[in-house]
Structure 1
């Protein structure tokens, strides 16, 4: 009976070719990121993109396992849980990158401070991760014993939807920051706060530079700022692509909308339809709406690596 139930959960035999290809791509990305992070001393890559890619590798290894024995329950549950929360690590990285950009380009263009981005969105990611892990664990336990899994599935769906809402807010804030920085349109309240803080910090008397010195400093500063802004535009473009892929991975406006007659999210719709729903029973949606977007989300930073654009850090300390 257990074998029949498990085959009905999949409704297909997972493709060895598709899943082995994704496993290889994520493994390659993880290895390249590890080397790039070591060379550039950007240690933040290890607990985010590298770890996330490793989780993807484990998830697709489970699907490869299923392709060899579709009746086993463990690999099915492994791939559901692992592939469900692997993108949390990728979103954590793009949150940090935006904070780095704000620090370098100017905090006056951002509605939130870099620290606020870090605490707000990383904490939101942790909440999402816990919800998905708890839901996945309960689903695994329930499926193994034949108990109902709907409550556990709902918890997983809640975690995924929470992650997607958080990412949508982040993308909005990131676009606002990029537009304001490009047009030099800072937030008025941020300018006032920064001016007040600067006035306090420079309250002590300092020598006044001559007009010639001021002119040279301004010219040099303008050239340096333009060069710096050009570098960060490339990184922000990669961040936008990665964030969009994370959203597309969850949001199936073309698939889930048409198939369920409601606008929705791939993973949330997939799970909410149940273990015999249309999306979960057709592997093509797993490949096109999950695998490919996630390969792009992590792989884009192999091509547009902050270490290659900004140069090697002087030490391992700090994010950048």
Structure 2
């Protein structure tokens, strides 16, 4: 290993605690294994390009922090954990967008300000932009010599803040939808015309495809199944809130710089990034759609 890959002192400002790193590796691994099992059992393939990738990045990130515990002056694991742990939540938010779209189709599009396909189009695009900014900034930072220049750091901050703003907007729209669906207050522009329930069937998804297996077309009208959707949306709400908490922390951390107070104190990384992210994925494990909604009969559009 080249000597230029070594720092004269800890790039963290501390040595990551081994047992904390191992604990998060185990927790994310267990949650990830459960998610994969739930995806296969309940036939939700969307878990693989969203939650599964995000959890894998979390495991890599915390493994890199454990690697740093074993070799604190070696720079690559420090940069590896920064990049992976910053990018991972993007994939968790993609799951939230997808589930809200399914819920709107099921509970009634007249209660949503936007049609489901616009949630996916707008917020997934925001996620992609955020991912690109964070990846470019992180890659630049990883290849830069010490001290890391401000420009790649600013790009990473921009990506995180962009993700944070889009997540707050998404949460506000999702909360409005839940309140309206609970109280029966429809948006006026949804009560007639092409945006109404009559204009687009409850079971139809983006491009007119059916989001649910045959025989489930009247789920939204069944009180028991509607109640099930509230549990699913509760999991989505918890996940979204945890992503926002973590986004606020990361934004402040990077604005302070690589030698700032937050980044040089381990407790903030553990409590404002690690804990919120594990709570986010565990909430979806617990409030998984497969537990509360009718069983899917196939993988199509799942």
Per-residue deviation, 1:3: 7.5
Q: What is the aligned counterpart of 1:84 among 86, 91, 94?
A: 86
Q: What corresponds to 2:161 in structure 1?
A: 161
RMSD: 2.1
1:128–1:162 CA contact under 8 A, matched in 2: yes
1:13–1:67 CA contact under 8 A, matched in 2: yes
Q: What corresponds to 1:31 in structure 2?
A: 33
Unaligned residue ranges in structure 2 (runs of 5+)? 202-217
Distance 1:227 1:200 in 2: 23
Distance 1:120 1:42 in 2: 22
Distance 1:195 1:146 in 2: 55
Cα distance 1:197–1:50, how it changes in 2: closer, same or farther (>3 A)? closer
Residue by residue over 1:115-160, the C-alpha shift from the partner in whole angstroms, topping out at 9 and shown as x without a partner, is 0001100010000000000000000111xx3464210000000000
| Greater alpha carbon shift after TM alignment, 4-13 vs 39-48 | 4-13
> Moved runs in structure 1, 4+ residues, more than 6 A?
none
Secondary structure of the structure 2 residue equivalent to 1:153: helix
Q: What corresponds to 2:257 in structure 1?
A: 274
Distance 2:197 2:75 in 1: 59
**Largest Rg, 1 or 2:** 1
1:139–1:149 CA contact under 8 A, matched in 2: yes
After TM superposition, the score normalised by the length of structure 1 is: 0.84
Q: What is the aligned counterpart of 1:297 among 264, 280, 287?
A: 280
1:108–1:194 CA contact under 8 A, matched in 2: no
Per-residue deviation, 1:223: 9.6
Residue by residue over 1:181-233, the C-alpha shift from the partner in whole angstroms, topping out at 9 and shown as x without a partner, is 000001011112247784799xxxxxxxxxxxxxxxxxxx7994322210101
Secondary structure of the structure 2 residue equivalent to 1:9: coil
Secondary structure of the structure 2 residue equivalent to 1:308: helix
Count of residue pairs brought into register by the alignment: 284
Structure with higher helix content: 1
Distance 1:158 1:312 in 2: 41
After TM superposition, the score normalised by the length of structure 2 is: 0.89
Cα distance 1:270–1:295, how it changes in 2: closer, same or farther (>3 A)? same
Distance 1:114 1:246 in 2: 21
Cα distance 1:200–1:173, how it changes in 2: closer, same or farther (>3 A)? closer
In the TM superposition, 1:64-143 aligns within 5 A as 64-142=66-144
Q: What corresponds to 2:247 in structure 1?
A: 250
Q: What corresponds to 1:17 in structure 2?
A: 19
Unaligned residue ranges in structure 1 (runs of 5+)? 202-220, 252-265
Distance 1:223 1:118 in 2: 21
1:39–1:312 CA contact under 8 A, matched in 2: no
Cα distance 1:38–1:223, how it changes in 2: closer, same or farther (>3 A)? closer
2:220–2:226 CA contact under 8 A, matched in 1: no
Per-residue deviation, 1:310: 1.1
Per-residue deviation, 1:101: 0.2
